[in-house]
Amino acid sequence: MKRFLGFVKKEFLHIFRDFRTLVILFGIPVVQILVFGFVVSTDLKNAPVAFLDLSNDEITQKVSDKICSSGFFRRGETLLNYNDIDKTFRKNKIKAVIIYEKDFGRKLISEGKASMSIITDGSEPNMATLITNYITAIVTDFNRELAGSQTTGKLMVQPEVRMFYNPSLKGHFMFVPGVITLILILICALMTSVTITREKEFGTMEVLLVSPLKPVQIILGKVMPYFLLSFINVIMILLLSWLVFGLPVKGSLVLLLAESMLYILMSLSLGILISTVSKTMQQAIFISFVGLMLPTILLSGFIFPIENMPSGYGWVAALMPPKYFIIIIKNIMIKGTGFLYVWKETLVLTVMASAFIWLSIRKFKIRLG
């Protein structure tokens, strides 16, 4: 028993001396509970809503104020005509548009009912369903208050729901862009980091360095096959989404493929950077999976809207490259927008790719040159 207790003590000391083991044991659970606790939420907070008020009377103002004062929505742009609806949705500045019919207040008083339309962005089915449910509930409560304050007749506001870009709220409009984003960053970053780390771990990197090839050429030679194979992956996924799920590319296919190539380049450069800080393949795999997969799923807007997260998580999400590619691919594939609507996200990915490449080449030379 004494020998056994001594052995257990030795194992405890071994664990406490290894900082990486302590991070896995205590750090990761803390981070996961904080991330899952705040990010995995079906609550709606401060979703931007635009109004097209064709009546502009006292009652429409009351309904709008009740919606915006609920805490679930905030007032976005004020639209002037129907042509502004599609333009505003394409800019990703709003999540829904509420339209009041002409003579809304007069019809409500004289006829006992008036119509309002709720238009949401169907490219995000979960968010669209959540928004329509919340607004409908607020309007129902308004009807209850209105009926209680009237002594004659029953007045009712009737909401009509419509979806832009995805009228039937098909789920693959959400998961196909997200899956493309997740697959590309995982495959590119993981495979690149592993293939370079494997050379270090097996001691064959020195053989490459004494060859006539420069470190930059070695890196390019390592990542070029994965760049081409990942590009083929993109084409395969787009074909499957069209043939199996009926999801065509509404925008420019050339632009979509060009943006995909930029994202692949950024992911490969990130994988190279991971390889420079990893000593073994196990470390590279761990960093790639834990550091990329969970943030991509949770903090990119793939499943859970970033607008619903606390402000600190929004800043973290802003550092995640998948966030910008999901915006790009949804705009081009589903909304049919052009480069003018995604140039900001393209610029961010370009800057990130350039920074990762510069850091990777610099660290590669310092470590092995």
Per-residue model confidence (pLDDT) at position 261: 93
Supply the DSSP symbol for 298. H
- 155 and 208 housed in the same domain: no
Whether 313 is covered by a domain: the verdict is yes
- 149 and 183 housed in the same domain: no
Whether 242 is covered by a domain: the verdict is yes
Whether 38 is covered by a domain: the verdict is no
- 187 and 281 housed in the same domain: yes
CA-CA distance, 275 to 364, in Å (whole number)? Answer: 9
Residue where one domain finishes, among candidates 146, 164, 182 = 164
Looking at the 3D structure of the chain, how many domains does it have? 2
Per-residue model confidence (pLDDT) at position 21: 63
> From first to last of its 369 residues, what are the pLDDT tens digits of the chain?
777 677 677 667 766 776 666 666 666 666 666 665 565 566 677 888 999 988 888 888 988 899 988 888 888 888 888 888 888 888 888 889 999 988 888 888 888 888 889 999 888 887 888 888 889 989 888 888 877 665 445 667 878 888 888 777 777 777 788 888 888 888 888 878 777 777 777 766 666 666 666 667 777 777 788 888 888 888 888 888 888 877 888 889 999 999 999 999 998 888 888 887 777 777 777 777 777 777 777 777 777 777 777 777 778 788 888 889 999 998 898 888 889 989 999 999 999 999 988 887 777 654 444
Whether 42 is covered by a domain: the verdict is no
Q: Is 47 helix (H, G, I), strand (E, B) or coil?
A: strand
- 159 and 178 housed in the same domain: no
- 352 and 237 housed in the same domain: yes
Residue where one domain finishes, among candidates 164, 193, 208 = 164
Q: Which CATH number goes with the domain that contains 125?
A: 3.40.1710.10
- 159 and 199 housed in the same domain: no
Whether 40 is covered by a domain: the verdict is no
- 317 and 339 housed in the same domain: yes
153 contacts 112 by C-beta, under 8 angstroms: yes
Whether 52 is covered by a domain: the verdict is yes
- 363 and 253 housed in the same domain: yes
Q: Is 50 helix (H, G, I), strand (E, B) or coil?
A: strand
Per-residue model confidence (pLDDT) at position 40: 59
- 198 and 329 housed in the same domain: yes
Q: How far is CA 327 from CA 20, 58, 178, 343, in A?
A: 35, 37, 10, 11
Per-residue model confidence (pLDDT) at position 24: 61
Residue-wise pLDDT tens digits, 72-130: 888 888 888 888 888 888 888 888 999 998 888 888 888 888 888 999 988 888 788 88
Per-residue model confidence (pLDDT) at position 260: 93
Max intra-chain CA distance, the chain: 93
CA-CA distance, 364 to 26, in Å (whole number)? Answer: 31
- 247 and 263 housed in the same domain: yes
CA-CA distance, 28 to 18, in Å (whole number)? Answer: 15
Residue 199 is part of which domain span?
A: 172-368
268 contacts 227 by C-beta, under 8 angstroms: yes
This prediction's pTM = 0.78
- 196 and 135 housed in the same domain: no
- 157 and 194 housed in the same domain: no
